[in-house]
Structure 1
């Protein structure tokens, strides 16, 4: 009898572990399908400009309007997933991406391709916003940041490989082959979600409408503070990425390939930061991890500013060495503040995730341009160092002046009670 019980327990544990792995793969796939499709096309931009006899700046719109599509998707699909459920909104978004990706294959002009890319992003980015809501549906507040970090860590590996994949596809089969792969990839994700993803939307405690969700979120100091902390931390990445090529290639006289290698070090630091966050998030309170990240982020940006004032960060090793500290800390700030934002009102997690993603991408488009201005109009990295330090200070300010002291009120217990009363296990 004990042996049977032992085998049954082991079987249950194995089934749970297997379902967790499946869910992780689904979350990574739905989160990564849009950004991977974005970066796969980047190596083919010069070829697009040549094939369509257009300027490179016009071809660049296949990337810039794609980012606009991602921003628009976040603010629309998040609230829809709160109202109609995660599964139908995900499947509708991925269905749109499949159709738009196929339209990219048959585009006969650059305007047609740009329009199809916008709708490709509008549909594909559904996974980015809904995945955060699903994580909030499935896990308690203490585990959310570790799951977000784990998804980001796995997804980043795929993103790092996507430009190489796109370049190889374009060289071997032509630029249209990139969209054949994107169509197949989005279709495979849609099929996987259809077969393996259950509906995870939580029981709503009231018949609150979209307007009610927005009003409740916007009147919550905790939500505003966590959201601003996450968004401002993400702008450090956009600003540095916008200025980096001009500083390294134009002012430091290095090659584009060398810049790419140095920039990869910051991505690697961010990846390692997420892996550390996965390990430590279940052990420590969310606020303590945010403060740890903020302190280290501020220290790294201050060191970078000191090197700039002293004039010794004219070499990539000094500039990127301290930026790696910033990016390692940035992983703690972003994942944990995102977890805090979507936990304030769990039944409106989609709306919260959408608002956060929209601001992140919307401000990012401006801050990347601002970074390019700083890198292109000044002969030293000092203005960029000042901007990164100012953003780090702004992140700290949200925690000090906006987020209430003490335990943030989250309706976790009320939700669990409602689930019990509704018969949900």
Structure 2
């Protein structure tokens, strides 16, 4: 796969994190503009998550029936129009509806970029490409909040959605000119009427579900970190709000670095071997993190080292688990990508919610959920390896 296609797929993969992280700094300004409070503005985020969960499952069968290109063009176009609707929303209810539609369009890039990689690459090559895509996925959470804050302070919150519309319009042009259809012509196109049966067959595929959940539960630990770290860093340990982004960025940089190292190691070792080692790093670092937190250290730095190792290990787990899950899916790659994304997103959202449910005024809820994810990741990975040996 050439560099041009990797860059296009990376941009399409960034729709999700960009549309979430980019506008977070605008919550106070949006609350003021709509004469409401920030918790009500946060419902726009919930609407986006709901759209992601529903939309991913819809695109899979459509992509397996009509190919990758047409659904992708539709989704990116829909995201562009919905972003404009967000920018000019006259009230909060309209913004909530527009965010839902925006998610329905944005998830096309997330689902179909994985399917396109699977169409063109074997498991090892897919893992390499997914590792390269992690560079974009890691940079987006670092840069998006910073740029969003600058735009809000200098131009206004509407500018964030106008920039998103411009970005997606550029992606639409790039897909039109530089991303040909990847679904091979000789593969039978599954009818839409069989979408339910297709998903049931994938759900019965223990190896696929095992690899999908290995990556999904690991990512759930990162969601727990995202949900809990603002309170732990800022409120509990007194890190200035303006410095929080730097700590967040350091962990994201570790994630990016490991993903790029993973891409190089794949030339000598397969994704299954690297995944098998990385899940243990995730488990051990999560357990150490929980143990340190239980001691209630006065300073933050003892938590930062195991947290950095844990988050960084995702740069190896996520691309390899995705590549192994998608391997050999052929004409079912669209449905497989959609189901994997929906499962992973649901588990991750549940982990983030659990941090809030367990909140007790300490860092323990966040680190407990991360360590539990580590235990589950290793357990699922071991079971999946056994199922694969028996297959």
Which residue in the other structure is 2:360 paired with?
A: 377
Map residues 382-421 of structure 1 onto 2, 5 A cutoff.
Answer: 382-404=364-386
Aligned mate of 2:337, from 353, 363, 383: 353
Q: Is the 8 A contact 2:134 2:315 kept in 1?
A: no
Q: Shift of residue 334 of structure 1?
A: 1.4
- Runs of 4+ off more than 3 Å: 205-209, 402-409
> Which structure is larger by alpha-carbon Rg, 1 or 2?
1
2:174 maps to 1:189: no
1:204 corresponds in structure 2 to 187
Distance 1:301 1:261, change over 3 A: same
Correspondence for 1:137 among 96, 116, 119? 119
Partner of 1:106: 88
Asked whether the 8 Å contact 1:274–1:331 carries over to 2, the reply is: yes
Question: Following TM superposition, by how much is the alpha carbon of 1:333 offset from its aligned partner in structure 2, in angstroms?
Answer: 1.3
State the Cα deviation string for residues 267-323 of structure 1 (Å, max 9, x = none): 1211111111111123211210111111111121122133234x1644221112101
CA-CA distance at 1:42 after TM superposition: 1.3
Instruction: Determine helix, strand or coil for the equivalent of 1:348.
Output: helix
Instruction: Provide the C-alpha distance between the structure 2 equivalents of 1:370 and 1:61, rounded to a whole number of angstroms.
Output: 18
Matches within 5 A, 1:155-170: 155-170=137-152
Give 1:229 deviation, angstroms.
0.6
Deviations 1:105-133 (A, max 9, x none): 22110111111111111101210110000
Describe the shift of the 1:248–1:178 C-alpha distance in structure 2 as closer, same or farther (beyond 3 A). Answer: closer
State the SS of the aligned residue for 2:22.
helix
Q: Within 1, Cα distance between the matches of 2:237 and 2:221? A: 21
State the alpha-carbon separation in 2 of the partners of residues 106 and 404 from structure 1.
Answer: 53
TM-score by length of 2: 0.93
Determine whether 1:236 maps to 2:236: no
Q: 1:59 to 1:84 in 2, by over 3 A?
A: same
Summarize the Cα distance change of 1:155–1:250 in structure 2 as closer, same or farther, 3 Å threshold.
closer
Which of 229, 247, 259 pairs up with 1:274? 259
Aligned-partner Cα distance in 2 for 1:365–1:324: 21
Aligned twin of 1:5:
none
1:365 to 328, 349, 355: 349
Map Cα deviations across residues 168-201 of structure 1 (whole Å, 9 max, x no partner). Answer: 2222222222222111211111111111111001
Q: For the residues of structure 2 that align with 1:382 and 1:60, how far apart are their CA atoms?
A: 25
Gaps of 5+ in 1: 1-18, 410-425
How many Å apart are 1:90 and its aligned residue?
0.2
Contact in 2 for aligned 1:242/1:370 (Cα 8 Å): no
- For 2:278 and 2:301, locate their aligned partners in 1 and report how far apart those are by CA, in whole Å: 22
Q: Which residue is equivalent to 1:180?
A: 162
1:192-222 Cα shifts (integer Å, max 9, x gaps):
1111111001343585732342233122111
Q: Distance in 2 between matches of 1:366 and 1:399?
A: 20
Residue 138 (structure 2) pairs with residue 152 (structure 1)? no
Change (3 A) 1:47 1:297: same
TM-score by length of 1: 0.86
Contact 1:273/1:327 (CA < 8 Å) preserved in 2?
Answer: no
Question: Which residue of 2 is the match for residue 292 of structure 1?
Answer: 277
Aligned to 1:302: 287
In the alignment, what sits opposite 2:315?
331
Contact 1:97/1:183 (CA < 8 Å) preserved in 2? yes
Q: CA RMSD in A?
A: 2.0
Contact (CA 8 Å) 1:293, 1:331: kept in 2 or not? no
Listed as ranges, the gaps of 5+ residues in structure 2 are: none
Q: Call closer, same or farther: CA 1:313–1:354 in 2, change over 3 Å.
A: farther
